[in-house]
Homo-oligomer: A and B are copies of this chain.
C-alpha cells in the first residue's frame, strides 16, 4: 500500500528461542524498542520499524518440530512459512487450518500474532480455537513454555489467547502448536451470479443448509470488482453478461461423488428458485484455479492504476454491502470518482469472506489524495461503529488503526488492555506506539 516507510539501524536474526530470549533481555535492560517481524506481509504497518526500532526477525527459526499423525497436532517454529507447512501436512493427509493470499511468504508466528483469518475460517474456525499451545519469549527474556499439544487443558487462565492477535506487543511467539484437520480428498468450486445482495444472503443461507459440513468457502465479489479484474487481465469471464454480484463456493469433503451430488442439487435448487441467475461448476483443478483467480486476483488488479485505500471490516451480514454503496455515493457526489485522469478514484468495490461477515471495502485510485481521505475517514469508521461492526476484521490494528480502536472497543476494554500491556511489558519496549 506504500503507506509506511521503515528505517532501522539494526536487524537481528536470532537462530533459536534461547537467542531471542537473550536479545530481548538485552533490549529490555537497555530500554531499546523492538519490532518483531515475521514474513512482513501485514497491511497495517505493524511489522514496520517506523520509529527506528530494532527489527527482530523470526525467519531463522523455521523448523517443523513435531507432528502426531493420529491426533493431527503439529508443532512448528514461528518462522516457518505457511505454504511450506501446508505442503508438509499435505503429504500426511492433513491441512493447515488457515490459508491466505500471502501464504508463500508469511510466517506462522506472524499469522498467530496477528490472528490471521483468511479463506478457511468459515470451515475450520479461528486461531483462537485451533492453536493448542504457544512458546513465547516475554519482553524481559523469560521463556513462557505453553507449547502443549493437548486439545483440552482447563488449568488456569488461557494466557496464550492474549498473544493470538496481540501483534507482538506482549512478547515474541517462537513456537506454535496447532490442531490440523484432515485434508479433504474431494474439492469442488462453483461460481455464480446474483441480482441483489438480498439474493446473496439467501444463497448463503441455502448453501449452509444444503452443503453444511462440506462447505469450505463462500466468497463475495461485487460486479465492479469483476469488471476491474477483467479490464486488467483481459481474461474470458466465467459467466456471460453483467451482474451486480458474484459468489464463489468451495466444498471440501471425503467423497467426491457425494459432494458433487450435493453441489448439483444445491445449484439446481438455487437456479430453479431464481435465487441465482447463472452459475458454473469447475470440472477440474485448472478450472478451479481459474475461478478462484476472479476472487484472489482482485487485490492485485486494484493496484493497477495507483494506490488503493483498503478497509477490512466486519459488519452484521444484513448491512454488509450497504457500506460499499454508501461510500461510493459519498465519493461520487463529491465528484471524486470517474473514468478520466482528473478524478482520483477509479472505483469503489466490495468483496470478501461472506461466510465470516468480513467485507473488504477497497477504493482504487489513480493517486493518493487528501480529498479522498477526508471523505473516507472517519466516515467509514463511524458508519461501522453505528452498526456494532469491527474496524478491523482480520488485518489488525498495527500503526494504521491504533487511533480508531475506540470505534470498536469500549473505554473499559481499552483500559483493561492497557493494563495488560503494562503487566507484560512494563518498560514498553515491544512494538511501541502501535496497537492500543
Contacts and interface: CB of A to CB of B under 8 A. Distances in A.
B155 A409 contact: yes
B68 A405 contact: no
Instruction: Report which residue of A68, A151, A421, A435 has the largest number of chain B beta carbons within 10 angstroms of its beta carbon.
Output: A151
Nearest to A390: B153
Interface stretch (A158-166, A227-235, A300-308, A371-379): A158-166
Contact of A125 (B129, B358, B393): B129
Contacts of A164: 158
A417 B70 contact: no
| Interface range for A | 35 or more
Instruction: Report which residue of A142, A184, A392, A412 has the largest number of chain B beta carbons within 10 angstroms of its beta carbon.
Output: A412
A255 interface: yes
One complex includes copies of this chain to the number of 2
Contacts of A393: 150, 152-154
A250 to B, nearest CB: 13
Contact of A71 (B130, B210, B316): B316
Contacts of A70: 201, 204-205, 317-318
A394 interface: yes
A211 interface: yes
Interface string A355-394: 0111000000000000000000000000000001111111
Contacts of A155: 390-392, 397, 401, 405, 408-409
A411 to B, nearest CB: 10
Interface in A396-417: 396-397, 401, 405, 408-410, 412-414, 416-417
B316 A154 contact: no
A417 B154 contact: no
Interface in A299-344: 314, 316-318
Contacts of A293: none
Contacts of A391: 155
Contacts of A211: 254
Interface in A113-154: 114-115, 117, 121, 125-126, 128-130, 138, 142-146, 148-154
Contacts of A52: none
B158 A162 contact: yes
A427 interface: no
Contacts of A182: 208-209, 212-213
A69 interface: yes
A357 B177 CA distance: 15
B156 A435 contact: yes
Contacts of A144: 410, 412-413, 416
A297 interface: no
Given A71-B316, A115-B154, 15 more contacts: A70-B318, A121-B151, A125-B130, A126-B151, A126-B152, A129-B130, A145-B410, A145-B412, A149-B316, A153-B390, A153-B392, A153-B408, A155-B401, A156-B165, A156-B435
25 contacts: A70-B318, A128-B158, A128-B161, A129-B129, A143-B412, A144-B412, A146-B409, A148-B388, A150-B357, A151-B357, A152-B314, A155-B391, A155-B401, A155-B408, A156-B397, A156-B413, A156-B435, A157-B170, A159-B416, A159-B420, A213-B252, A255-B261, A258-B258, A258-B262, A419-B423
Q: Which 3 A-B pairs have the closest CB atoms?
A: A129-B129, A161-B161, A212-B254
